[in-house]
Amino acid sequence: RKEVEQDPGPFNVPEGATVAFNCTYSNSASQSFFWYRQDCRKEPKLLMSVYSSGNEDGRFTAQLNRASQYISLLIRDSKLSDSATYLCVVNMGTGGFKTIFGAGTRLFVKA
């Protein structure tokens, strides 16, 4: 089992749709979680951190479920500009360094 797993997609949705991505992680000691966005042939950019209480930034909502070891990202009212690959990132935060990037979920938003 991979340490961080994401549905590779692609997700093809019309503008205005709501889309949700899930990410599971295997290490229960994981301590911090992030969603990054990566456009084609570009570097990943931080979209949002994920907190235990859940957090929202405009049309984007991130949730963490420690009991089931997954995080989610919800995008409401999708825009064409949301088309990208979304990377789930998990940081173990234990002695030494261990940050794992998921392979990403590809999203296409169409007019």
Partner 1 sequence: DGGITQSPKYLFRKEGQNVTLSCEQNLNHDAMYWYRQDPGQGLRLIYYSQIVNDFQKGDIAEGYSVSREKKESFPLTVTSAQKNPTAFYLCASSTTILRETQYFGPGTRLLVL
Tell me how far, at minimum, the Cβ of 14 lies from partner 1, in Å: 25
Q: Which of 42, 59, 66, 79 binds partner 1 (CB under 8 A)?
A: 42
**x-or-dash string of contact with partner 1, 70-99, rule CB under 8 A:** -----------------x---x-x--xx-x
Which lies closer to partner 1 via its Cβ, residue 60 or residue 76?
60
3-state SS string for the chain: CCCEEECCCCEEEECCCCEEEEEEECCCCCCEEEEEEECCCCCEEEEEEECCCCEEECCEEEEEECCCCEEEEEECCCCHHHCEEEEEEEECCCCCCCEEECCCEEEEEEC
- Per this entry, what is the length of the chain? 111
Q: Which of 21, 35, 104, 105 binds partner 1 (CB under 8 A)?
A: 104
Contact residues: partner 1, CB under 8 A: 4, 8, 31-32, 34, 41-46, 49, 87, 91, 93, 96-97, 99-104
